[in-house]
């Protein structure tokens, strides 16, 4: 059985120094849990943020038409 890849919009905040920095990421993943893992890993890698300092506030499955991230839009146009 083949699973369908979905698109998730994840919103939250992470602590950067004394400031809570908001973020919104759009991620392709099989499950909500996979999308959250990708975001946690990405923020930790790019900003050296510990997972306990990342607060996920919303995870929403979105359609291809709702995608705002330009890179992801281009990817979807090419690969579907």
Q: Residue 52: give its domain's CATH number.
A: 3.10.20.10
In a domain, 1, yes or no: no
The answer on pLDDT for 2 being more than 80 is no
Nearest to 78 by CA among 66, 64, 63: 64
- Cα–Cα dist 56/76, whole Å: 25
- pLDDT tens string 29-74: 999 999 999 999 999 999 999 999 999 999 999 999 999 999 999 9
Contact indicator for 32, 8 with CB cutoff of 8 Å: yes
Helix (H, G, I), strand (E, B) or coil at 64: helix
Q: How many domains does the chain have?
A: 1
pTM beyond 0.85, yes or no: yes
CB contact at 8 A, 29 and 9: no
Parent domain of 46: 6-79
Q: Please, which pLDDT band fits residue 17 given cuts at 50, 70 and 90?
A: very high
């Amino acid at each position: 059985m083949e699973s369908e890849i979905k698109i998730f919009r994840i919103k939250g905040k992470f602590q950067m120094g004394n400031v809570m920095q908001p973020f919104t990421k759009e991620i392709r993943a099989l499950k909500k849990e996979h999308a959250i893992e990708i975001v946690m890993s990405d923020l930790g890698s790019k900003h050296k943020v510990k997972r306990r300092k990342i607060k996920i506030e919303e995870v929403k499955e979105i359609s291809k038409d709702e995608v705002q991230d330009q890179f992801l839009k281009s990817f979807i146009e090419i690969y579907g």
